[in-house]
Amino acid sequence: MKFKQTDGQNQRIERITTSHLVVGIDIAKETHVAQATNFRGIVLSNRHLTFSNTIEGFEKLIRWIDGLKQKHRLQGLIIGMEPTGHYGSNLANWLADKGIYVVMVNPATTKRNKENRDNSPSKNDPKDALVIADVVSRGFYYEYSRQAAVFQRLRTMMSDREYWVTNSVRLQNRIIRWIDIRFPEYFSVFKDWTCKRSLATLKEFPFPQDIESLSVSEVITAWRAHMQRAGGSTGMQKAAQLISLAKRSVGDKTASNEANQDLHRLLQEFERIVEILDEIEQDIQKLLCEIPMADQLRSIKGLGSICTAAILSGAGDLRQYAHGRQLLRKAGLNLAESTSGKRKGQIVLSKRGDATLRKYLYLATIQLVGNNPVFRQLHENNVQIKHMKKQQSVFKLLGKLARIIISIVQKGETFSPEIAAPTLTQAA
């Protein structure tokens, strides 16, 4: 028997027969727990198996499985586990390399089925392993498959970038807090504090008292140590505004030496992270050149390299998807509804999928609405003609983007406005 997941990925699903041994493994950092059942979910092992996350532990698992298969005269084998972060990846890869059929079970499924065995909400590792095996025996699983090396490399790079972007955001918030305390009027001169002139100012004149007694020419001279075009009408205007605001600033002047050292360290770290992110993005650009379908995605005007890389790293090889709905489900962007009798529940996003992929598909749609004429027209048509709310229109276009992406990849084409929105292009 098997469970055909609606709009699931286009993957091979092996049929469980009476000759199959079903093994469920509860994954942990150091020690895993396994339980075994037959195709009906009946426990076949006298006791659960505990084994370490080492090659010795993996071989112990195989010996245990071989013993059960021989004892119960079973030929087939299917091993199920939950995708619990990175802890189970080494085991899953090792088993897959040996040709063993490995499947994944959604943690939400095991959570909802844990009371089926004993009508108890109790939770422990042996029980979790048994629940996983039971869920697999009933066919609620999807196949584990490793992506091609180039997609694994891309996923590693994007994970690395996400880490440094998170650090950058925290650091920027810390610097903004520092400016709010010491020179709150600063942002009326520099809307973007990360521009070259602003960074030069923070390095040379972090406090209002550092600049209030200077002339415009002295400020510009100090800026020239950090930027080439420090003067001009813009430079003179900015310098004059800073001096004027510094003279009547209400910023805190206490502990200025300690605060200055704090800002100096923050700015150094910020510039270091900017360099790291530039290096990562250059590497991502080079890697995208090795993926033909990346050029197809980037043919969509407004879809940048980072969004393209994020989509490919989260979804993998897009040729494995038959329809855009499958990509939406992978990202947890499929719709979920709760209705019963006369009660009609609210339709919401399921959010059961890759959160990073979901984020970047949304950001990509926002970028396209702003920069792509076709998506901008579609958005305006949704809002003005169909009277949709702006956010509702964005999510509708997100679904269209998913369908376009899968379509152009499957057909080996580039983006065409006439195909994407034939009605709008004909009207134009």
Q: Round to whole Å and give the CA distance between 366 and 12.
A: 34
**How far is 422 from 209, CA to CA, in rounded Å?**
62
State whether residue 34 is helix, strand or coil.
Answer: strand
What's the average model confidence in pLDDT over 414-427? 66
pLDDT digits (tens, 9 = 90+) for 88-119: 889 999 999 999 999 999 888 888 887 776 67
pLDDT at 188: 93
**Are the C-beta atoms of residues 80 and 104 closer than 8 Å to each other?**
yes
**CB distance 1 to 16 below 8 Å:** yes
Global confidence as pTM: 0.82
Mean pLDDT calculated for residue range 120-146: 86
Residue 21, SS3 per DSSP: strand
Dist CA 94 CA 88 (whole Å): 10
Q: Whose CA is closest to 277, among 194, 174, 164, 169?
A: 164
Scan for tokens 């152009």, then name that residue.
Answer: 408
The C-alpha atoms of residue 379 and residue 363 are separated, in whole angstroms, by 15
Which residues are 26's β-sheet partners? 33
**What confidence tier does 145 reach under pLDDT thresholds 50, 70, 90?**
confident
Cβ neighbours around 324 below 10 Å, total: 19
What is residue 185's DSSP assignment?
G
* Mean pLDDT value of segment 40-69: 94
User: What pLDDT score was predicted for residue 342?
Assistant: 62
Mean pLDDT within 169-196:
95
Query: Is residue 9 predicted with pLDDT exceeding 50?
Result: no
Query: Counting beta carbons within 10 angstroms of the beta carbon of residue 89, is it exposed (0 to 12), middle (13 to 18) or buried (19 or more)?
Result: middle
On the question of pLDDT at 3 being above 60, the answer is no
Of the candidates 83, 129, 138, which has an alpha carbon nearest to the alpha carbon of residue 106?
83
Q: How confident is the model at residue 336 (pLDDT cuts 50, 70, 90)?
A: confident
Whether residue 10 is predicted with pLDDT greater than 50 in this model: the reply is: no
Helix axes 256-288, 149-182, angle to 10 degrees: 160
Quick one: residue 342, left, alpha or beta (phi over 0 = left, psi -120 to 50 = alpha)? alpha
Question: pLDDT at residue 427 above 50?
Answer: no
The predicted pLDDT at position 417 comes to: 80
Q: 128-142, 180-194, 406-420 — which is least confidently predicted? A: 406-420
Average pLDDT on 7-21 reads: 65
Q: What are 248-295's pLDDT values in tens digits?
A: 999 999 999 999 999 999 999 999 999 999 999 999 999 999 999 999
Whether residue 7 has pLDDT greater than 50 = no
- Banded pLDDT at 423 (limits 50, 70, 90): low
Instruction: Report d(CA 191, CA 396) in Å as an integer.
Output: 33
Upper half-sphere CA count for residue 333 (Cβ side, 13 Å): 28
Q: How large is the average pLDDT for residues 226-249?
A: 90
pLDDT surpasses 90 at 1: no
